Structure 1
Amino acid sequence: MAVHQADAQYSPEARDLIWTIPNAISLLRIISIPIFAVLVARREMAVALIVLAFSAFSDSLDGTLARKFNQVSKIGQVLDPVADRLLIFCSVVALGIAGVIPWWVLIVVGLRDLVMAIEVLVLAQHGYGPLPVHFVGKAGTAILMMSIPAFIIAELWAGRFTQGLHLICVAGMIWGVLLYWMAGLIYLKQGHDLLRADGVAAGDAVADGTAGERTA
């Protein structure tokens, strides 16, 4: 009976909650990302891997707690993708500084995130929130996220296996970047379609108003 009551009280709708345990965990995750990046840049890979493990665990924990205790919040839905973007960007910067990956990866990833940030701001000015995540974007993000610990592991232990792992990581990161940008183009088209529909609707409203004035 208690289980049924708990289920009845649970709501998947995001609420205007701020001071919750899941949000605190998400904030700690965001704080840990620059620490992780500094460790990677200084080539302290073992400690960096531990910090990254904490970040990955907290990423799963905050969502689980939010659903379990009915604390799904709007700010939590924002913090999670922000943390993912920040982790990818900071990791690419740190790996570039450490000489693990080429700098062009940073430029390509950073440019994509900049374009997406501009689109979010433009859509917000027209009353739209963030666009729903596309599965291509999820795939690209997942590949990039898996490449990060793999690069670190490849740097920790030298040998034939890790050399092969490094090559696989490079190939995976290239594929992830391609999907990352493909998703970005999809989001740009979606945003363009929304704004275009707004423009058409506004034009129709003006035309209807003008026609009404003439009739009167």
Structure 2
Amino acid sequence: MAIRQLKRRFSPAPTDKIFTVPNVISMLRIVSIPFITALVMHHHLFASLVVLAASCASDGVDGYIARRYNQVTKLGQLLDPIADRLLIICSMLALAWVGIVPWWVLVLVALREVVLGIQILCLAQFGYGPLPVHFVGKAATAMLMITVPVFIISELGSGRLFNVLHYGGDACAIWGCTLYWIAGFIYIHQGVGLIRQELAARRHGQAGGPAGAKESA
């Protein structure tokens, strides 16, 4: 019983619908990523900034609609974080390629995604879905989404103001990466805890037989 409660807590049971408004918005955010990347690579920075701003704004819109109108879906729980991460990583990759964003920012962000991707695969072996988003993770994502447009704006002109904006982008990147990894360690701690409890419950059930199963309930 306790294990089932944990699974419900960390893997809520949303609907199986696919074509909901939040899901369509998340899909459009993913579709916008190649356009943002291409615009940055061709140095159309202002146009890329406009598309990026619309994509970032859509992140809050789809979540609000899903909660407000009870349109939380299994697909949406996967699409939304995937869209956010792809938007951040691809934008930073393009900006790093043209020399606007430092490469260390991209490396830190991508490395965390690899680590958490491995954890998601491990949790799936025990029947768990993605862990709920921690508020530190939300803050980190927001900070990184701010970082990208700040760097772009800093390249739209010259002078003291734009130099200050570039330093502001560096500061946002440092804070964003720090929070991103703090959130990553929180997710790792949660995931390891769930796996340990699952393994302990399985060992207890094997040792105690029906009695052990009854005690767990």
User: TM-score, with normalisation over the residues of structure 1?
Assistant: 0.85
Distance apart, 1:62 and its partner CA:
2.8
What pairs with 1:13-162 in structure 2 (closer than 5 Å)? 14-67=14-67, 69-162=69-162
Query: For the structure 1 residues 67 and 102, does the alpha-carbon distance in structure 2 shift closer, same or farther, using more than 3 Å as the test?
Result: closer
Q: In 2, distance between residues paired with 1:190 and 1:71?
A: 26
1:44-95 CA-partner distances (Å, limit 9, x unpaired): 1011011112212332333344455543322122211111111111111011
Check whether the contact 1:42–1:98 (CA below 8 A) recurs between aligned residues: no
Check whether the contact 2:136–2:182 (CA below 8 A) recurs between aligned residues: yes
Q: Which amino acid aligns with 2:127?
A: G
Give the aligned partner of residue 5 of structure 2: none
Check whether the contact 1:140–1:176 (CA below 8 A) recurs between aligned residues: yes
Q: In 2, distance between residues paired with 1:186 and 1:61?
A: 26
Q: In 2, distance between residues paired with 1:20 and 1:35?
A: 24
Q: Which amino acid aligns with 1:155?
A: E
Check whether the contact 1:33–1:90 (CA below 8 A) recurs between aligned residues: yes
Check whether the contact 2:95–2:101 (CA below 8 A) recurs between aligned residues: yes
Identity level (%): 54
What pairs with 1:125-204 in structure 2 (closer than 5 Å)? 125-204=125-204
Deviation above 6 Å: which 4+ runs of structure 1? none
Check whether the contact 1:96–1:103 (CA below 8 A) recurs between aligned residues: yes
Provide the aligned C-alpha RMSD in A: 2.2
Runs of 5+ consecutive residues of structure 2 not aligned to the other structure:
1-11, 213-217
Higher relative contact order (CA 8 A, sep 6+): 2
Check whether the contact 1:140–1:180 (CA below 8 A) recurs between aligned residues: yes
Q: Looking at CA atoms only, which structure, 1 or 2, has the larger radius of gyration? A: 1
Query: For the structure 1 residues 65 and 198, does the alpha-carbon distance in structure 2 shift closer, same or farther, using more than 3 Å as the test?
Result: closer
Check whether the contact 2:59–2:84 (CA below 8 A) recurs between aligned residues: no
Distance apart, 1:18 and its partner CA:
0.5
Q: In 2, distance between residues paired with 1:135 and 1:59?
A: 15
User: TM-score, with normalisation over the residues of structure 2?
Assistant: 0.85
The number of residues matched between the two structures is: 201
Distance apart, 1:128 and its partner CA:
0.5
Check whether the contact 1:13–1:72 (CA below 8 A) recurs between aligned residues: no
